[in-house]
Amino acid sequence: MQQELEIIQGVISAVVYQNYDNGYAVLRLGVGGGQSVTVVGTIPLPAMGERLMVTGKWSNHSSYGRQFEAEFLERMMPQTSMEIMSYLSSSIIKGIGPRTAARIVEHFGDETLLVMEREPLRLAEVSGISREKAKLIGEEFRQRVGMRALMEFFALHRLPAELAVRTYKLYGETTVELLYDDPYLLMDEGLDAPFGAVDRFAIELGVAGDDPRRVEAGIFFELRYNLTAGHAFLPEEKLIAATAQLLNIDAESILGGVERLVEGERLIRSFLAGITVCYLPELYEAETNCTERLLELASTCFPAPKGLERMLRTAENESGIAYSGQQRDAIRAAATSGVLLITGGPGTGKTTILNGIISLLGQMQCSYLLAAPTGRAAKRLTEVTGEEASTIHRLLEAGIDPNTGLMVFARDESNPLKADAIIIDEMSMVDVQLLHCLLQAIPPRKRLILVGDPDQLPPVGPGFPFGDCLRSNVLPSVRLTEVFRQAQQSLIVMNAHRVNQGELPDLKNVTSDFFFMRRQSEDAVRQTIRDLCTTRLPKNMGIPSDQIQVLTPTRKGGVGTWSLNALLQEALNPASADKKERQSGQFTVREGGRVMQIRNNYDIMWKKCDGSAVGTGIFNGDIGIISRIDPQLETMTVVFEDREADYDFTQLNELEPAYAMTVHKSQGSEYRAVILAAASGSPYLLSRSILYTAITRARELLIIVGREEVVAAMTENAKRSRRYSGLKLRLQGKAE
């Protein structure tokens, strides 16, 4: 028999747990007579002192006992002075602790919340509160009330609670009105709303299946969704078919939507090698501008400097290395080419060439700038060259437009980079949009030198410009094929080349820098990885745990990052009474924990740990240690090597535990020791490029833990997911 819904009501006496991302909460509800019950469910932003009327069902949890599962609820702000005191003392409003709350309630009594909402400057009547602080408290209170109401609206319509935060920041107090007018506003760039939930919401509001708003939203969704798979465009035929299937309407209606969007220039129709394709305008602009600028730069041929051979000998003497023929050709080409592509696998001398080019440019009295796609790649570039390198984003002076919330660059055509040569390392990680922004900032008649390994994983973003440029055979390039004798002594290097050639790596050698530990079950893989990180490598080989990076192809499953991070966190940084922690989504962040920034944040402030400098920007892939969590201020401090940054609790979704990470996330980085989990997984992820990239991340030691047949399957799987990218064809003049 189906359990009937019941109604309970009371005042929140304690908030046991709350997830700021999805609104899920566990709380104690005082129901009178000195009794309280446990209530669980989607209860966004609960606070002590609030009155709730909850509709739901009773259940018995195996660990937590009897609890009430909320399905619907009505909320009332605290009414009595006692309830208001409890509410404000719970640190629900930044800037108000228990003492300040007591003074405010003593002064305003039952009218406190009304004053905070309508006359916040009156808070300055209270001792210790300035007019500026009163204003800030009022803004925080109104925002919190508005945010909570919006989250409740989203919960009512089964929209993700975390979406409410992003939507409120974009549209403010008018959000609900705007959504009633056009629910597909939730599909705007930057909101990352799931189309299925938005579409269901729109239909609930009465939007017809073939409504132009729905059709156009579906088209944009398909194009943006395919950006995540690396596609810069979609063939028009495929776009129409996919959207028709998504919306379950006829293809004719979708074609009509395409025509409207093309006519309004919100969609670009183009022709590549005789095929009709559709671009988002920003991707079309990126590809076409990249083509024009690369060809323009490549058209410049600089005369060879006088004494070039003498300069090469000087560079050799400085490095103590006798250049090979390939290396001398590459360095010479850098002196005379407007664009130069340099590619090769590990041990082929790319670093030697970079240092040679830097020496040559210095002797030619040419200024230069060095950059890489990620912070860790830039740091490594600095280490191997001895020259200051930055991320491409920092080079271009990235920031956030306060009006749109979108990323912008201060460096562009009107404010170009001031250097004779721009050198970019780890170019395989650069997508077409970032290359477009870089090229805009490079004036004519300058040198652009791009260095990378196209056999590694492609960029996370759309396109594969480095591979396209190489395959076009239009731009000057040097392919390094010789593995040098010193590198041949490393089994890491030699196995990387074996894998790249489709050969199984040597898994039997036990005396080198490359080891294979055969483990059949996922539990055995997990336990071995745990032992390696906690005892074997730190104690037996003197490699500290913070210099060991665990890599895995996947996020999910027994040997995915989610599972391994939970395992390693409890082993390396277990819960303790003297360590504060915070739940963030499915992760627990804890003082002393290792975390990674998972998206570029150009606004977050940082300061040098020694106080010598301040700046802005923490970037995707930066790894740090949580030094402090402040529950009252709702902030967390993370130390990134020599810098520390403060995070608001609303920013915790920008961080993930970093004891284990995906191979994709490791691109551009190098670690003293790498442990790779090789267990079962999706064929899409068990690929040669994944294995090759993982191996090349290790500097001193690489250990594969798992099954030999999985390593063999990865080696054999040379398939790369096809990316729709038009840069190669455009460089070859095969586009209309």
CA distance 213 to 208: 9
Say if residue 61's pLDDT is above 80.
Answer: no
| Structural contact between residues 261 and 216, judged by C-beta atoms closer than 8 angstroms | yes
Helix (H, G, I), strand (E, B) or coil at 186: helix
Q: Is the dihedral of CA 129, 132, 134, 137 positive or negative?
A: negative
Mean pLDDT estimate for the chain = 89
- At 365, the amino acid letter reads Q
Listed residue (438, 500, 420, 430) closest to 469, CA to CA: 430
Residue 444, classified by CB atoms within 10 Å of its CB into exposed (0-12), middle (13-18) or buried (19+), is: exposed
The pLDDT score that the predictor gives to residue 651 is: 83
Helix (H, G, I), strand (E, B) or coil at 259: helix
pLDDT tens, position by position, 17-52 = 877 656 778 899 998 888 899 998 878 778 888 888
- % residues pLDDT > 90 (the chain): 58
| Structural contact between residues 602 and 407, judged by C-beta atoms closer than 8 angstroms | yes
CA distance 493 to 512: 11
Listed residue (646, 686, 655) closest to 587, CA to CA: 655
**Rounded to the nearest 5 degrees, what angle is found at the Cα of 699, between the Cα atoms of 562 and 656?**
20
Listed residue (53, 114, 57, 55) closest to 81, CA to CA: 114
Give, to the nearest 10 degrees, the angle between helix 325-336 and helix 308-319. 120
The pLDDT score that the predictor gives to residue 166 is: 75
- At 331, the amino acid letter reads I
**Alpha-carbon radius of gyration of the chain:** 29
| Structural contact between residues 283 and 462, judged by C-beta atoms closer than 8 angstroms | yes
Q: Residue by residue, what is the 3-state secondary structure of 495-549?
A: HHHHHHCCCCCCCCCCCCCEEEEECCCHHHHHHHHHHHHHHHHHHHCCCCHHHEE
Say if residue 712's pLDDT is above 60.
Answer: yes
Say if residue 638's pLDDT is above 60.
Answer: yes
Say if residue 618's pLDDT is above 80.
Answer: yes
Average pLDDT over residues 624-628: 94
Listed residue (387, 433, 439, 391) closest to 417, CA to CA: 439
Helices (H) and strands (E) in the chain, counts: 26, 30
Say if residue 705's pLDDT is above 80.
Answer: yes
**pLDDT level of residue 485 (50, 70, 90 thresholds):** low
Helix (H, G, I), strand (E, B) or coil at 626: strand
Q: Is the dihedral of CA 299, 300, 304, 308 positive or negative?
A: negative
CA distance 408 to 503: 45
507 — phi, psi (to 5°)? Answer: -100, 5
Listed residue (234, 338, 282) closest to 726, CA to CA: 234
Return all residues near 597 (Cβ < 8 A) that are at least 6 apart.
Answer: 618, 619, 620, 621, 622, 623, 624, 640, 654, 655
**pLDDT level of residue 297 (50, 70, 90 thresholds):** very high
The pLDDT score that the predictor gives to residue 97 is: 82
pLDDT tens, position by position, 376-435 = 888 889 999 999 999 999 899 987 777 666 778 999 999 999 999 999 999 999 999 999
The pLDDT score that the predictor gives to residue 515 is: 94
The pLDDT score that the predictor gives to residue 733 is: 95
Tokens of 702: 């690489």
pLDDT tens, position by position, 495-525 = 999 999 999 999 987 777 999 999 999 999 9
The pLDDT score that the predictor gives to residue 384 is: 92
| Structural contact between residues 610 and 575, judged by C-beta atoms closer than 8 angstroms | no
End-to-end CA distance of the chain: 66
- At 256, the amino acid letter reads G
CA distance 119 to 232: 52
CA distance 573 to 567: 10
The pLDDT score that the predictor gives to residue 170 is: 81
**pLDDT level of residue 688 (50, 70, 90 thresholds):** very high
Residue with tokens 């979406």: 163
Tokens of 433: 């949009």
Say if residue 438's pLDDT is above 60.
Answer: yes
Q: Is the dihedral of CA 505, 511, 514, 515 positive or negative?
A: positive
- Upper half-sphere CA count for residue 652 (Cβ side, 13 Å): 24
Average pLDDT over residues 291-295: 97
Between 639 and 188, name the one with better pLDDT: 639
Listed residue (530, 504, 507, 527) closest to 517, CA to CA: 507
pLDDT tens, position by position, 171-214 = 887 888 889 889 999 988 777 788 998 999 999 999 999 999 99
| Structural contact between residues 677 and 559, judged by C-beta atoms closer than 8 angstroms | yes
**Rounded to the nearest 5 degrees, what angle is found at the Cα of 531, between the Cα atoms of 524 and 621?**
95
Say if residue 238's pLDDT is above 80.
Answer: yes
The pLDDT score that the predictor gives to residue 477 is: 95
**pLDDT level of residue 481 (50, 70, 90 thresholds):** confident
Q: Give the number of other Cβ atoms within 10 Å of residue 531's Cβ.
A: 13
Sheet holding 339-344, edge to edge: 389-391, 368-372, 421-424, 447-452, 339-344, 477-480
Beta strands in 585-697 (DSSP E): 587-590, 594-597, 601-608, 614-618, 623-630, 635-640, 643-648, 655-657, 660-662, 671-678
Say if residue 315's pLDDT is above 90.
Answer: yes
State the maximum Cα–Cα separation within the chain, in Å, rounded to a whole number: 95
In this structure, what DSSP letter does residue 478 have?
Answer: E
| Structural contact between residues 85 and 102, judged by C-beta atoms closer than 8 angstroms | yes
Listed residue (70, 69, 68, 88) closest to 78, CA to CA: 88
**Rounded to the nearest 5 degrees, what angle is found at the Cα of 122, between the Cα atoms of 120 and 126?**
115
| Structural contact between residues 513 and 490, judged by C-beta atoms closer than 8 angstroms | yes
CA 671 from chain centre, in angstroms, equals 20
Say if residue 530's pLDDT is above 70.
Answer: yes
Residue with tokens 């079962």: 680
CA 689 from chain centre, in angstroms, equals 21
Average pLDDT over residues 113-127: 90
CA distance 289 to 677: 41
Q: Give CA separation, 462 vs 2, 294, 377, 652, in Å.
A: 50, 18, 20, 26
CA distance 675 to 659: 11
Tokens of 356: 């040679």
pLDDT tens, position by position, 317-369 = 998 888 988 899 999 999 999 999 999 988 888 999 999 999 999 999 999 99
In this structure, what DSSP letter does residue 427 have?
Answer: G
Say if residue 1's pLDDT is above 60.
Answer: no
Listed residue (189, 213, 448, 471) closest to 338, CA to CA: 448
CA distance 381 to 389: 6
The pLDDT score that the predictor gives to residue 486 is: 65
CA distance 577 to 16: 17
CA distance 707 to 712: 9
